[in-house]
Chain A
Amino acid sequence: MKKHTLAVLVENKPGVLARISGLFSRRGFNIESLAVGVTEETDTSRITIVVSGDDTVLEQVKKQLNKLIDVIHIAELTPNESVSRELALIKVEVDATTRSMVMQIVDVFRARIIDVATDSLIVEVTGSKGKIASMQRMLSQFGIKEMVRTGKVALHRRSKTAADTMLEEHQKPEEE
């Protein structure tokens, strides 16, 4: 099934995430990942949602989201017109002999080691889903103790702010 990335600007209010996740579950839409955080405007949050489904499903997702009063704007981010990243923290088992091997792999991936203990390292890696997956594969030979990853976050390449986007929405000409 096709995956689509949506950038959703919402009111930064309690309960908004519940409204959105509730909508997805009751309408049977599949969320692949969801990441939320406040934007440069403190009263506005940006949610990046990756949904899977065909074009009809995508159309319904967008329209149903639009019906929520707290949703201000929705845009689909296509791979060509946007940049996106995921981040993972991976705790790898190491000993005196494997530590340097892990560090080499981390270098190749341009990842970072952010915590060191006698028997483990925590690696921070950002990038595409694919990059994180290969990193995970490479490190798994040493033994992964724990791992956590964010959902995808994405931004449109054009230079504009959340405020610009919302302004455009409000100035959408209405035909009389």
Chain B
Amino acid sequence: MELLSGGDMLVRSLEEEGVDLIFGYPGGTVLHIYDALYRHKTIEHFLVRHEQAAAHMADGYARATGKVGVVLATSGPGATNLVTGIATAYMDSVPLVAITGQVPRQLIGGDAFQEADITGITLPITKHNYLVKDVHDLPRIIKEAFYIASTGRPGPVLIDIPKDVTTDTLDFNYPQKINLRGYMPPKSADVQQLREAAQFILKSERPVIYAGGGIIISGAAGELLGLAETIMAPVTTTLMGKGAFPDTHPLSIGMLGMHGTKYANYAIQESDLVIAVGARFDDRVTGKLESFAPNAQIIHIDIDPAEIRKNIRVDISVIGDAKAALSRLTGLVKEHQPRTGSWLERINKWKKDFPLQYKKDGLKPQYVVECISELYPDAIITTEVGQNQMWAAQYFRCTRPRTFISSGGLGTMGYGFPAAIGAKVGVPDATVIDIAGDGSFQMNSQELATAVQNNVPVVVAILNNGYLGMVRQWQELFFEQRYSSTIIEESVDFVRLAEAYGALGLRAERPEDVKPILREAVVSGKPCVIDFIVERNENVSPMVPAGAAINEILDLE
């Protein structure tokens, strides 16, 4: 018999789930939970400066480690501040458990101080959510939340706990079993479907594998490599799939889509078979849908049945875990002699004729990314959103899963820095670098305090062009250079900002300074911000204009 309060029970339940650290911010309704954390001393708590950042840290932690990230916030504004972070995790299928305080039960619905209907608010951006109305339900709900968040297609689960539930006491028993009759994540893939997929592969002369974030979530990078080398098919990855296949591999054709490589887009358009694995045919990938892969049959392998035929017609769908499906599929085609020789020759010619490139005059943002890639190929890279994100995706050569962490679906500016902190906390031995823009970094720069206070040495590499660069690029191309509200030059001295927080602040203005300054930042062992003053008007190139087919991809000056 172990009589525990709801607050103690929560901490004990988290321990049972193997949680050893969480990110959060205290407040009135979670006082008892914070008191339990203080007394138990079993779970490390990272105090942030804004709840949004706590959610991104838990998300970055989850993406870097594969474990469930946990974030804790108080009711009302604490909870609503999590919303962007939860939506970010939802769009990118990240396992997250968000715990929020709620006003006492008898006050719910009465517009009490710091009351917000956070289960209602997060309904469309969580995989599931709970309002705990009885302390009896608390252990079961926590068990279910971790299970739902981490199985099938992962996603965020929110648990809203009224303050008086955290003080109610009960004999604590953590459930061993889960009984959810409405939730059965698919396991193994249908063999018949895989056999048909194998037949398509055997007939194909111009196959392309289109690999998404599902490969990384499923831990299927090895199986993907196995299939690609067995059938000798080129592999293109999405932004979320970066790291699923080594960018350095001869069969790699880089990222596809709006800012993908020309050769990836050409390969898709000329292919006779697209093998999509753990990817969802997002509009940034397909461009004009009707013209996407016009000559190809499409095999779609995904764990989420709702992704099949959501955006695009498919010829064969396989529902199941990518790792199991790919391993079995490779088994079915391994006797096959690939006939992709001339196809690969064509692709290699495209690679030679249409490489990713930029003019090397002055300090170019692409050059900064190339230097990071060269000096720290094993680093975990996080990105902000916009031009910095696309340059990072194009020029950082990623070789391992879980080392490229970016807000793909929601496109959340301000994500990269807190995600870097979360990743570094989860993988302390890794060098963690946030490739940032001067706009995005300012959306969560207050977390320098968190990094310094908790001594989390991450490097923020700001590609500072004094613009909200991606929007400026669109204004240049499509709005006759009317730069409406996108000029932010000299609004802040990032070196002094870093120093004000007790972090290291560095600046580079010439190409020859980039590498020495990067080394200085990494060896410092301190949280560090590097202000790279880059060529202001550089555009992300190539680019598929909105609404065009992906082979209508243009070079921008």
Question: A residues within 8 Å of B by Cβ?
Answer: 10-11, 15, 18-19, 22-23, 26, 56, 59-60, 63-64, 66-72, 166, 169-170, 174-176
Interface contact B123-A59, CB-CB below 8 Å: no
Question: Counting CB contacts under 8 A, is B309 at the interface?
Answer: yes
Interface contact B182-A69, CB-CB below 8 Å: yes
Interface contact A26-B124, CB-CB below 8 Å: yes
Interface contact A174-B188, CB-CB below 8 Å: yes
Question: Residues of A contacting B310 with CB < 8 Å?
Answer: 60
Which listed residue (B124, B180, B308) contacts A22, Cβ 8 A?
B124
CB distance from A8 to the nearest CB of B (A): 11
Interface contact A66-B124, CB-CB below 8 Å: no
Interface contact B188-A22, CB-CB below 8 Å: no
Residue in A closest to B152 when the chains form the complex, CB atoms? A67
Give chain B's interface secondary structure class.
loop
Which listed residue (B127, B183, B309) contacts A59, Cβ 8 A?
B309
Question: Residues of A contacting B180 with CB < 8 Å?
Answer: 69
Interface contact B123-A22, CB-CB below 8 Å: yes
Residue in A closest to B187 when the chains form the complex, CB atoms? A174
Residue in B closest to A172 when the chains form the complex, CB atoms? B184
- Cβ-closest 7 pairs across A and B: A63-B306, A69-B128, A72-B182, A69-B183, A63-B305, A26-B124, A22-B123
CB distance from A152 to the nearest CB of B (A): 23
Interface contact B148-A69, CB-CB below 8 Å: yes
Residue interface mask B180-208, A partner, CB < 8 A = 1: 11111001101100000000000000000
Question: Residues of B contacting A59 with CB < 8 Å?
Answer: 309
CA distance A70 to B126 in the complex (A): 13
13 contacts between A and B (CB under 8 A): A10-B182, A15-B131, A19-B123, A56-B309, A60-B309, A66-B306, A67-B127, A67-B304, A68-B182, A69-B128, A175-B190, A175-B191, A176-B188
Interface contact B306-A18, CB-CB below 8 Å: no
Question: Residues of A contacting B123 with CB < 8 Å?
Answer: 18-19, 22
B120, B128, B190, B306: which has the most chain A beta carbons within 10 Å?
B306
Question: How many CB-defined contacts (below 8 Å) exist between A and B?
Answer: 48
Question: Counting CB contacts under 8 A, is B81 at the interface?
Answer: no
Interface contact A15-B119, CB-CB below 8 Å: yes
Residue in A closest to B189 when the chains form the complex, CB atoms? A175
Q: Could you list 16 further interchain pairs (A-B, Cβ under 8 angstroms) beyond the known A67-B304, A72-B182?
A: A10-B182, A15-B119, A18-B120, A22-B124, A23-B124, A60-B309, A60-B310, A63-B305, A64-B306, A66-B306, A67-B127, A68-B128, A71-B182, A166-B181, A174-B187, A175-B191
CA distance A169 to B306 in the complex (A): 18
Question: Residues of B contacting A67 with CB < 8 Å?
Answer: 127, 304, 306
Residue in A closest to B148 when the chains form the complex, CB atoms? A69
CA distance A175 to B305 in the complex (A): 16
CA distance A169 to B182 in the complex (A): 9
CA distance A22 to B190 in the complex (A): 32
Question: Residues of A contacting B120 with CB < 8 Å?
Answer: 18
Question: Residues of B contacting A18 with CB < 8 Å?
Answer: 120, 123
CA distance A166 to B127 in the complex (A): 22
CA distance A64 to B305 in the complex (A): 9
Residue in B closest to A55 when the chains form the complex, CB atoms? B309
Question: Residues of B contacting A169 with CB < 8 Å?
Answer: 181
CB distance from B285 to the nearest CB of A (A): 19
Residue interface mask B124-142, A partner, CB < 8 A = 1: 1001100100000000000
CA distance A67 to B128 in the complex (A): 9
Residue interface mask B287-310, A partner, CB < 8 A = 1: 000000000000000001110111
Question: Residues of A contacting B308 with CB < 8 Å?
Answer: 63
Question: Residues of A contacting B184 with CB < 8 Å?
Answer: 170
CA distance A64 to B306 in the complex (A): 6
Question: Residues of B contacting A174 with CB < 8 Å?
Answer: 187-188
B182, B191, B305: which has the most chain A beta carbons within 10 Å?
B182
Residue in A closest to B310 when the chains form the complex, CB atoms? A60
A23, A69, A175: which has the most chain B beta carbons within 10 Å?
A69
Interface contact B181-A72, CB-CB below 8 Å: yes
CA distance A169 to B184 in the complex (A): 10
CB distance from B399 to the nearest CB of A (A): 33
Given A26-B124, A175-B188, A176-B188, A170:B181 Cβ within 8 A: yes
CA distance A166 to B306 in the complex (A): 21
Residue in B closest to A68 when the chains form the complex, CB atoms? B182
Residue in A closest to B183 when the chains form the complex, CB atoms? A69
Interface contact B182-A11, CB-CB below 8 Å: yes
CA distance A90 to B127 in the complex (A): 42
CA distance A166 to B182 in the complex (A): 9
Residue interface mask B303-320, A partner, CB < 8 A = 1: 011101110000000000
Question: Residues of B contacting A175 with CB < 8 Å?
Answer: 188, 190-191
Residue in B closest to A166 when the chains form the complex, CB atoms? B181
CB distance from A46 to the nearest CB of B (A): 14
CB distance from A23 to the nearest CB of B (A): 8
Question: Residues of B contacting A69 with CB < 8 Å?
Answer: 127-128, 148, 180, 182-183
CA distance A22 to B120 in the complex (A): 10
CA distance A176 to B321 in the complex (A): 12
CB distance from A108 to the nearest CB of B (A): 45
Residue interface mask B93-130, A partner, CB < 8 A = 1: 00000000000000000000000000110011001100
CB distance from A125 to the nearest CB of B (A): 36
CA distance A63 to B308 in the complex (A): 9
Question: Residues of B contacting A70 with CB < 8 Å?
Answer: 182
CA distance A18 to B127 in the complex (A): 14
CA distance A130 to B15 in the complex (A): 60
CB distance from A91 to the nearest CB of B (A): 34
CB distance from A36 to the nearest CB of B (A): 16
CA distance A176 to B324 in the complex (A): 10
CA distance A11 to B123 in the complex (A): 16
